[in-house]
Amino acid sequence: MKLTIVYDNEIYEKNVGLKSDWGFSCLIETKDETILFDTGAKGKILLNNMKILGIDPCIINKIVISHEHWDHNGGLKTLGPIVGDVELYRLGKKQPSENMNLTTVEKPQEITKEIYTTGKLRGTPVNEQSLVLKGENGWYVLAGCSHPGVETIFDAAKQYGDIIGLIGGLHGFDDFSILEGLEVVCPAHCTKHKKKIYELFPKISVECGIGKIIEI
């Protein structure tokens, strides 16, 4: 499974025209499906970054929105006419034009054979879902902002198997001991203590940013 960061606060692949912005989006390519996890804040920037990374948005067949914050769902409006009637998994019901083929997520459920959602988890200030991805060697969590807290997300994700990796926004996260035993941590987007994570876990830390590709 191949993950490509297409929207982030930072750029990984420098000097090629990628634009950073506050927000997050990650493209997930499996053997037979392409899922976009979050859409960043601005559709224009999302499309610019995809173009430069050689990604045709028409290949997206499912979209998952982690939570209803503008920096995660903002790109949907622009994406709508391009991707058409794809499956959209989100926690809330928004304007019909953004709703595509809507599934309102409550409980943990399958997105594809290798990708599952934790279901709606209670968070402050908003509820959120994270994805649980089946990699070659174990399970990975892909999170938007981690508003429910990493511990809560991991507790929900563990129902699928042992978690060996964490990728995504880790907002106010500072309970670093939770990361012990992981094989990969890739703090992105709104992670407040990125440097601290790199310092504490140099062997497993992976630098994020737009253009970063992670094969799991």
What's the min distance (Å) between Cβ of 68 and Zn ion?
9
- Of the ranges 3-11, 86-94, 143-151, 179-187, which one interacts with Zn ion (CB under 5 A)? 143-151
- Of the ranges 54-62, 71-79, 98-106, 113-121, which one interacts with Zn ion (CB under 5 A)? 71-79
Which residues within the stretch 72-111 sit at the binding site for Zn ion (CB under 5 A)?
Answer: none
Which residues within the stretch 179-208 sit at the binding site for Zn ion (CB under 5 A)?
Answer: 190
Residue closer to Zn ion by CB (options 125, 202) is: 125
Residue closer to Zn ion by CB (options 1, 41) is: 41
Residue closer to Zn ion by CB (options 114, 187) is: 187
Residue closer to Zn ion by CB (options 134, 147) is: 147
Site string for Zn ion, 146-175 (x = CB under 5 A): ------------------------------
Q: Which of 62, 69, 134, 194 binds Zn ion (CB under 5 A)?
A: 69
Alpha-carbon span 108 to 161, nearest angstrom: 14
- Is residue 27 helix, strand or coil? strand
In what side-by-side order are the strands of the sheet with 62-64? 101-104, 87-90, 62-64, 34-37, 25-29, 2-7, 213-215
Report how many residues bind Zn ion under the rule CB under 5 A. 4
Alpha-carbon span 200 to 117, nearest angstrom: 29
What's the min distance (Å) between Cβ of 85 and Zn ion?
27
Alpha-carbon span 204 to 38, nearest angstrom: 24
Q: Is 71 in the site for Zn ion (CB under 5 A)?
A: yes
**Site of tokens 């019901």:** 93
What's the min distance (Å) between Cβ of 69 and Zn ion?
4
What's the min distance (Å) between Cβ of 190 and Zn ion?
5
155 Cβ contact partners less than 8 Å away, ≥ 6 residues apart: none
Q: Which of 76, 145, 156, 182 binds Zn ion (CB under 5 A)?
A: 145
Dihedral of CA 23/36/204/209: which sign?
A: negative
127-165 burial by CB neighbour count: b if 16+ within 10 A, else e?
bbbbbbbbbeebbbbbbbbbbbbbebbbebbeebeebbb
Q: Which residues bind to Zn ion, rule: CB under 5 A? A: 69, 71, 145, 190
